[in-house]
Amino acid sequence: MNKNLEIAIKASIAAGQEIMNVYNSDFDVEFKEDKSPLTEADKKANAIINSFLIPTEIPIISEENKQLDYSERKNWKLCWIVDPLDGTKEFIKRNGEFTVNIALVAHGKPILGVIYVPVTKELYVGNVQKETAFKTVIENTSYNFDKIVEKSKKLQPLNKVQDVIRIVGSRSHMSKETLDFMEKVKIQRKKESKIISKGSSLKFCILAEGLADIYPRFAPTMEWDTAAGQAICNASGIKVIALDTKNELCYNKENLLNPWFICNYEGEF
C-alpha cells in the first residue's frame, strides 16, 4: 500500500478513537468567529493527525490549524488537506454522522483520500492514480494493512440513473437553491426523486457506494470538507464538478472556500 495512504489511515483511526472518547463523555461546545461550533474532540483529533502527518514533511492545510497566507502556499506541489472532525453539528447532536477526513493533494488535485467514521468504524479509501476505491470496517485496534485490503469491498457507484433519482443532501445545511435544483431534476428527468439526508462527508461515501445518484451542493463548503471525499469519488469514477467553471474542484486555492458543485457519475446530469 502507498506509504502516505498508510499514514493517513493510521492517523484517521487514531483520531477517531480520541473523538469517541470525547463523544462518550460530557463535553463543552465553543463557537468560533464564524459562529461554527468547536469541541474538545476537534482539537484533540487535530493534534493527533498533526503528529502523524508532520513527520512526512508535507505541508498541512487543516480546518483547526492556523491558515497560512497564499504567498506561502502557492508553490506547494503536495499538501495534506484535513478536517479532523467533519460534521461537528452532527457530533453535538450525537447522531453518529461525523467523519475524519484526510486527503493528499498534488498540484491542486486530490490523489489520495481517507474518510473514517468513528461510530461505525467504517473506513473509506480512494487512490486516484490507481483508480481504486474501497470500504472496510476496522474491527479492532490491532489491524494490519494486508487485512484491511483483504476484507475490503470495492466501491461501485451507479453508472446510470434508476427509476427513482436518489439525491443526497446535507442534514444540517440544506439550502433553498439545492431544493430548487432537486425539483428541477425531477421535472427534467420525468422521474420521481428521493432525498437522502446525510451529515458530513458521508454524502460522498454513499454516492461512491452506489446508494445515491447525485449530490448537489449549493451552499458554502471549504476545501477540507470535500478533498478526501473527492479523492474517493474520483477513484471510483465519480466527478465533482464546480458550477462556475464546469471543471472539477481544485485545491490549495488562494481562497479556500469552494464554489457550488455537483457530484455524480461521469457527468450524467
Q: Show Cβ contacts of residue 110 under 8 Å, excluding neighbours closer than 6 positions.
A: 81, 103, 104, 128, 227, 228, 230, 231, 234, 251
User: Please, which residues bridge with residue 100 across strands?
Assistant: 116
Contacts of 85 (CB under 8 A, 6+ apart): 15, 19, 39, 41, 42, 45, 46, 91, 98, 99, 100
Q: Rounded distance, CA 254 to CA 269, Å?
A: 29
What is the DSSP track for 120-143? TTEEEEEETTTTEEEEEE--STT-
- State the binding site for Mg(2+): 63, 83, 85-86, 225
> How far, in Å, CA of 269 to CA of 265, rounded?
8
For residue 149, give the C-alpha cell: 485490503
What Cα–Cα distance (Å) separates residue 104 from each residue in 61, 157, 222?
Answer: 10, 22, 15
d(CA 225, CA 257): 10
Binding residues for substrate, as ranges, are 63, 85-88, 225
Strand pairing class (29-31; 60-62) = unpaired
DSSP alpha helix (H) spans, 173-222: 176-189, 202-208
Residue of 149, 124, 151 whose CA lies nearest to 238 = 124
Binding residues, as ranges, are 63, 83, 85-88, 225
Burial of 242 (C-beta count, 10 Å sphere; 0-12/13-18/19+): middle
